[in-house]
Amino acid sequence: MLATLLSSTLVGLDGRIIRVEVDVAPGLPGFTIVGLADAALQEARERVRGAIRNAGFSHPPRRITVNLAPADLRKAGASLDLAIAIGILLGSEQVTAAPGRIALIGELSLGGEVASVPGILPMTAALARRGIRRLVVARDAVAEAQLVDGIEVVGVGTLREAADAVRRRSRRSTRPLPPRIELASGGPAPDPTGVPAAPAVAVDGIAPDLVEVRGQLEARRALEIALAGSHGLLLVGPPGSGKTLLARTIPTLLPPLGDADALAATVVASAAGEGPISALRREAPVRSPHHTLSYAAMVGGGPRMSPGEVTLADHGVLFLDELPEFGRDVLEALRQPLEDGHVSIARVGRATRFPARVLLVAAMNPCPCGWAGDPSDRCRCPQPVVDRYAGRVSGPLRDRIDLWVSMGRLPPEALIAGREPEASSVVAERVRRARAAQVERQGVLNGRLSGRRLRAICRLDGAAGRQAIALAELEGLTARGTERLLRVSRTIADLEGSPAVRGEHLDEAARFRSFAARLASREAS
Amino acid sequence: MTVAPPPAAPPAATPTEAEAWALLLAVEDLGPAAHGALLRAYGSALAVLEAARRPGASARFAGIRSEEGTGRAIGPIVAGRIVRSLGLIDEELEVLRSSAVRIVTVADPAYPARLRAIELPPPVLFVRGSLDGLAAEHVVAVVGTRRPTDRGRAMATQIAAMITAAGGTVVSGLALGIDGASHAAAVHQSGPTVAVLGSGHAELVPRAHDRLAEGIIAAGGAVVSELWPRQPPAKWSFPRRNRLISGLSDATVVVEAGENSGALITARNALEQGRGLFLVPGRIGDPVSAGCLRWLHAYPGEARIVIGLAELVEDLGLVERASVRSRRTRRLPEPASLEAVLLELGPTARRVGTALAAGHGTLDELVATTGFEPATVLGAITLLELRGLVHSTFGRYRPAGALAAAPPARS
């Protein structure tokens, strides 16, 4: 007898609906899965067999054929286990289904327990969009699935409970509601054989408060400007100068995400399998991948088209410690996301596009040994080597970094004396206000402005205009240098709540110009 | 004049002859040659303005032959502009009279004699301050790159100080770098120095040198431009200004110039105008000296090399007056005091500069010393940097240039 059920699988950041057809027919006992299933799915046969037996049902000694439609879509992962097992129970008439379309998503253990899978949120949204009104998922995935309106979610712990849920009528007649969640659909189909998405390497634990960062006023100010206007930031300093500590305070300084951005961030977190999700992620993500990560881990891809670090940091901050140690191709790959706010991955026969609106914060040593400029004179690098080290930051990246700042090691007395540092909450409030002012004025943050639009928004009056020319000469009068100066000074003015960009804003912005340009301008006359 | 003004028009302010000269120059693209042709044809600038009021004026202007009689002196477009500009005379006069700018025409006895000798001298100079310095026996231009090395800056300071001490007048372009250092050295000795702008007076660039310009005027020198006061700086205006720098001077000294430096345009003008040219050499392969070296190589007979201050003094003919001083003090002019170095800055930058001169290094320390907000201190550092008074490396700020040489503040 034939049983047909619905389930879903994850492709990139999108849920795809899969029709699971199970035919239990007389013949030699056997179990075949057809329809471009990957290795994890082929192994579903063993999990399903064990789960059915250990849940107290019988695995029918007949010829079982499972077809996964659409046939041309490569299916990956274990999200279809539950649907296949229930299909067999229906097909062998051990269970009778109540009328109405029902979908099931879950992985089975040999003991018959149902476990959650990554991507519940986008998969549920896809089902709801298709008009499915009832969904069975693992119990710990219920909260995440319920983020989507218009679909009844039933949580189950075991295969037996799932069978009960299928048998039962819907407890309440859910009126069809438009799904609350609209997910942009990605490119065409992906590949099977999924490795689970990389585990989170978010800046771990509880983020330290800015009040714990003593001194380093210049770097603190640069960080504030960077977050307020979404400007790329590069911190340069010897080991122990506090670059990483400063970067770790970022989560305490960013304003919570708005509805649409929070939803996008939650979908990414869900697809990346970042544990059970019970509410929209309001906090902006901060990712700090290690410098040994691969190209695919940065941009995404792999057999299942999993999102990479740039996508996991969408709407948040991507922190790259020890910038020159990252692979050249890895850094090169950041060009597109930093420019366009998304990343396109093309493989033979398919392509997909992930969102990647990230703010880049990077840190590096001033020279190969790390001690150039330190008063201890520990640095043994020859001057040309030191000069060249800043040049290791590759061109496209250099152009997207608006703020360059040096940090020295603090003398011990500064750690004890010095003025009391500002707390995160104070700075966060300034950042929030400056961001709100930018969004109200131009719809985007200043860091995303360039060309004509930038010039229109950062119109300078006479005196400020002349100052801009004088300062641009310091940068070597390049178009990029001038734009950088304008963008940053606009943000400084926004932090102050000033509608106009004035000379002193430009003066301050000029402090954070690129060392690379400074080196170049020393050579040109 | 027999022709009555048009009855409907309000009583027009009557320009003086000098103002009439200047008003003609406010016409876009009307250069010295066309200006000269008009004056020859009508006798006076006022007569030209008068003629422009009569019908058919633009055709008559376009008919004026050039001095050699080979072609038209004034194109039809410019001729039309002259006539149209009449409507704006009142407004333009207002601009002219409200600015503290004096007009010196080439017909005026106060017009610098050296400049009158060049080919196509500017018909009109807009002047703030006193041109007396240009009557000195020795007038020397000191020019160079906007981004000099510390050595180059010190060299410019020494040369300008020496010229001033010998009673000469330093001419330069008020730009950042070598130009600014040269003017500042003269001002520091309260000597007259003349800055030639590449823009109109109202559009003075760089803004960082606003106070230096005031200092020049206060010290008895002048800021000069051949351009209409509201003319903004443009690509063409700086090369054009450079011919005045060399033209006002007996000789031009180039201290550090890169391969494409504008200072080399001044050098070329100096040779073309038959004036002296001295080039300070530098190390081979050093980009800031590439231009000087190339010229020394390319014009061996005309471009002269500077091998020392004493020799330059002799070559410039300053020797009689300078000998008393130079034999003893030619090594280094006395460094400017801290107050003098910071004189031209605002109070904020002055306080930050004073703190820096005392050796304070990082932003944290400067904030602690001055009590200013970090943002304020950062801005002030930029202003100091624009003047070459501070160097930043790896988050530490060090006094540089005159600030490093200055003896500590007397307080």
Domains within chain A, CATH numbers bracketed: 2-167 (3.30.230.10), 210-432 (3.40.50.300), 449-525 (no CATH)
Per-residue pLDDT at A417 exceeds 70: no
Q: Which of B145, B206, B208 sits opposite A525 (nearest CB)?
A: B145
SS3 call for A248: helix
Residue B396 distance to chain A (closest CA, Å): 7
Q: How far apart are CA A232 and CA A222, in angstroms?
A: 10
- Where are the strands (E) in B160-307, listed by range? 169-172, 193-196, 222-225, 251-255, 276-280, 303-305
Give the pLDDT confidence score for residue B339 in this predicted structure: 73
CATH no., domain B338-405: 1.10.10.10
Nearest partner of B229 among B90, B25, B78, B14, judged by Cα: B25
Per-residue pLDDT at A512 exceeds 50: yes
Per-residue pLDDT at A189 exceeds 60: no
Size of interface A-B (CB pairs under 8 A): 110
Residue A401 distance to chain B (closest CA, Å): 17
The CA distances from residue A192 to A36, A78, A301, in Å, are 8, 11, 12
Q: Choose from B176, B207, B211 for mutation: most chain A CBs within 10 A.
A: B207
Residues of B with a Cβ under 8 Å from any A Cβ are: 145-147, 176, 203-208, 233, 256-261, 287-288, 290-291, 361-365, 367-368, 374-376, 378-383, 385-386, 392-396
Cross-chain residue pair A469–B380, CB shorter than 8 Å: no
Q: What is the mean pLDDT of residues A494-510?
A: 89
Residue type, B104: V
Chain A residues touching B290 at Cβ < 8 A: 525
* Inter-residue contact B107 to B138 (CB < 8 Å): no
Q: B91 falls in which pLDDT band (50, 70, 90)?
A: confident
Residue A444 distance to chain B (closest CA, Å): 24
- For chain A, what is the largest distance between any 2 Cα atoms, rounded to a whole number of angstroms? 90
Q: What is the mean pLDDT of residues B5-14?
A: 51
Task: State yes or no: cis peptide before A70, omega within 30 of 0.
Answer: yes
Cross-chain residue pair A504–B379, CB shorter than 8 Å: yes
Q: B3 falls in which pLDDT band (50, 70, 90)?
A: very low
Chain A residues touching B145 at Cβ < 8 A: 525
Dump pLDDT digits (tens) for A271-301. 888 777 878 888 888 899 999 999 889 988 8
B95 CB-side CA count, 13 A = 16
Burial A223-241 (b: 16+ CB within 10 A, else e): bbbbbbbbbbbbbbbbeeb
**What are the tokens at B71?**
């072609």
The CA distances from residue B322 to A247, B310, B314, B381, in Å, are 61, 9, 9, 38
Q: Which of B287, B381, B395 sits opposite A523 (nearest CB)?
A: B287
Nearest partner of A226 among A316, A310, A354, A330, judged by Cα: A316
Nearest partner of B389 among B336, B329, B325, judged by Cα: B336
Cross-chain residue pair B395–A237, CB shorter than 8 Å: yes
Q: How far apart are CA B356 and CA B372, in angstroms?
A: 14
* Inter-residue contact B349 to B380 (CB < 8 Å): yes
Q: How far apart are CA B252 and CA B279, in angstroms?
A: 8
Chain A residues touching B279 at Cβ < 8 A: none
Give the pLDDT confidence score for residue B139 in this predicted structure: 93
Q: How far apart are CA B155 and CA B401, in angstroms?
A: 11
Give the pLDDT confidence score for residue A187 in this predicted structure: 33
Residues of A with a Cβ under 8 Å from any B Cβ are: 215-218, 220-221, 236-237, 366, 372-375, 405-408, 410, 414, 418-419, 463, 466-467, 469-471, 473-474, 492, 503-505, 507-508, 510-511, 521-525
Cross-chain residue pair B378–A511, CB shorter than 8 Å: yes
Q: Which of B176, B368, B395 sits opposite A408 (nearest CB)?
A: B395
Give the pLDDT confidence score for residue A477 in this predicted structure: 55
- Mean pLDDT over the full length of chain A: 82
SS3 call for A353: strand
Residue type, B216: I
Cross-chain residue pair B375–A405, CB shorter than 8 Å: no
| Distance between first and last Cα of chain A | 85
**What are the tokens at A374?**
């330190």
Cross-chain residue pair B206–A408, CB shorter than 8 Å: no
For A467, the closest chain B residue by CA position comes to B207
Lowest model confidence (mean pLDDT) among A161-165, B92-96, B184-188, B291-295: B92-96
Per-residue pLDDT at A166 exceeds 70: yes
Chain B residues touching A494 at Cβ < 8 A: none
Residue A441 distance to chain B (closest CA, Å): 24
Q: For residue A507, which phi and psi values (nearest 5 degrees)?
A: -60, -45
Q: What is the mean pLDDT of residues B31-41?
A: 83
Q: Which of B176, B261, B374 sits opposite A218 (nearest CB)?
A: B374
* Inter-residue contact B206 to B176 (CB < 8 Å): yes
Give the pLDDT confidence score for residue A438 in this predicted structure: 93
Q: pTM for this structure?
A: 0.62
Cross-chain residue pair B394–A373, CB shorter than 8 Å: yes
SS3 call for A346: strand
State what percent of residues in chain B have pLDDT above 90. Answer: 27
CATH no., domain B17-98: 1.10.150
Cross-chain residue pair B375–A414, CB shorter than 8 Å: no
Q: How far apart are CA A247 and CA A265, in angstroms?
A: 20
Q: Choose from B360, B378, B381, B387 for mutation: most chain A CBs within 10 A.
A: B378
Dump pLDDT digits (tens) for A371-411. 877 777 677 777 667 767 777 777 778 878 889 898 887 77
* Inter-residue contact A220 to A499 (CB < 8 Å): no
Dump pLDDT digits (tens) for A418-434. 667 888 999 999 999 99
Q: Do B113-329 and B338-405 have matching folds?
A: no
Chain A residues touching B362 at Cβ < 8 A: 215, 218, 408
Give the pLDDT confidence score for residue A49 in this predicted structure: 93
Q: What is the mean pLDDT of residues B325-345?
A: 57
Dump pLDDT digits (tens) for A54-99. 999 999 999 999 999 888 888 888 899 999 999 999 999 898 888 7
Give the pLDDT confidence score for residue A233 in this predicted structure: 94
For A509, the closest chain B residue by CA position comes to B379
Residue B203 distance to chain A (closest CA, Å): 8
Q: Which of B207, B256, B365 sits opposite A470 (nearest CB)?
A: B207
Per-residue pLDDT at A474 exceeds 70: no
Chain B residues touching A472 at Cβ < 8 A: none
Give the pLDDT confidence score for residue A516 in this predicted structure: 58
Dump pLDDT digits (tens) for A326-378. 888 898 889 888 888 889 888 766 778 899 999 999 999 888 888 877 777 67
Chain B residues touching A366 at Cβ < 8 A: 394
ipTM: 0.74
Give the pLDDT confidence score for residue B202 in this predicted structure: 86
Per-residue pLDDT at B328 exceeds 80: no
Nearest partner of A395 among A332, A337, A351, judged by Cα: A332
Domain limits, chain B? 17-98, 113-329, 338-405
Give the pLDDT confidence score for residue A215 in this predicted structure: 82
Q: What is the mean pLDDT of residues A187-207?
A: 39
Cross-chain residue pair A221–B386, CB shorter than 8 Å: no
Q: Which of B258, B261, B364 sits opposite A215 (nearest CB)?
A: B364
* Inter-residue contact B299 to B369 (CB < 8 Å): no
Q: Choose from B238, B394, B398 for mutation: most chain A CBs within 10 A.
A: B394
Dump pLDDT digits (tens) for A17-29. 999 999 999 989 9
Q: B5 falls in which pLDDT band (50, 70, 90)?
A: very low
**CATH topology for B113-329?**
Rossmann fold (3.40.50)
Dump pLDDT digits (tens) for A298-313. 988 877 788 899 999 9
How would you classify residue A72: left for phi > 0, otherwise alpha for psi between -120 and 50, otherwise beta? alpha
Cross-chain residue pair B393–A407, CB shorter than 8 Å: no
Residue A305 distance to chain B (closest CA, Å): 42
